[in-house]
Amino acid sequence: MMERENSNRSRRITLRLTEKEYAKIESLFKASTCRKLSDYVRKSLFSRPITSTYRNQSLDDLMEETVVLCSELRAIGNNINQIARKINTLKTVPEFKGHLYLFEIQRERLFDKMEEVSGHTQKIAEKWLQS
């Protein structure tokens, strides 16, 4: 239904705003769940309900850090899996020792990152409980 509705939109409205007016509209748009400014303006004009959200910047920052840490953990986990597969195919002791050393380095990185994630999760929980 949305595609059909969009394909019928052939008319434009050009509107000039002051910097302050535009900043106000942009601020309200960013606080809403609308994906596009045009959707926000359309809903405003036609008195459709606009869902607003409260954004806590410190929680957003913590979430961003947690996402980065999670991707790092996935990468370390992949490295550990590759090392484990390689160790299973080794036939000589020197090869085994070298890969065992690499495994130990990755294991230490994994546990360090897990501690970071735990700390960030604790911070998020504390902020969430304050709300």
Say what the pLDDT of residue 23 is: 92
Q: Would you place residue 5 in the very low, low, confident or very high pLDDT band (cuts 50, 70, 90)? A: low
What is the value of pTM for the model shown?
0.43
Pick 60 or 35 by higher pLDDT.
35
Task: Give the right CATH number for 57-130 from 1.10.357, 2.60.40, 1.10.1900, 1.20.58.
Answer: 1.20.58
pLDDT at residue 33 is higher than 90: no
Check if the beta carbon of residue 66 is closer than 8 Å to that of residue 121.
yes
Q: What angle do CA 16, 22, 23 make, to 5 degrees?
A: 165
pLDDT exceeds 80 at position 113: yes
Mean pLDDT of the chain: 79
Q: Which of 68, 60, 70 is CA-nearest to residue 128?
A: 60
- The answer to whether residue 19 scores a pLDDT higher than 90 is yes
Who has greater pLDDT, 39 or 50?
A: 39
Q: Is the pLDDT of residue 2 over 70?
A: no
pLDDT higher for 14 or 125?
14
**Residue 48 amino acid letter:** R
Closest CA to 131 of 46, 33, 43, 62: 62
The confidence score (pLDDT) of residue 107 equals 84
Report the distance separating Cα 9 and Cα 71, nearest Å: 41
Give the model's confidence band at 51: pLDDT under 50 very low, under 70 low, under 90 confident, else very high. low
Report domain extents, the chain: 14-54, 57-130
Residue 82 Cα distances to 75, 91, 92, 112, angstroms:
11, 16, 18, 19
**pLDDT of the residue at 84:** 79
CA 2 to chain centre: 27
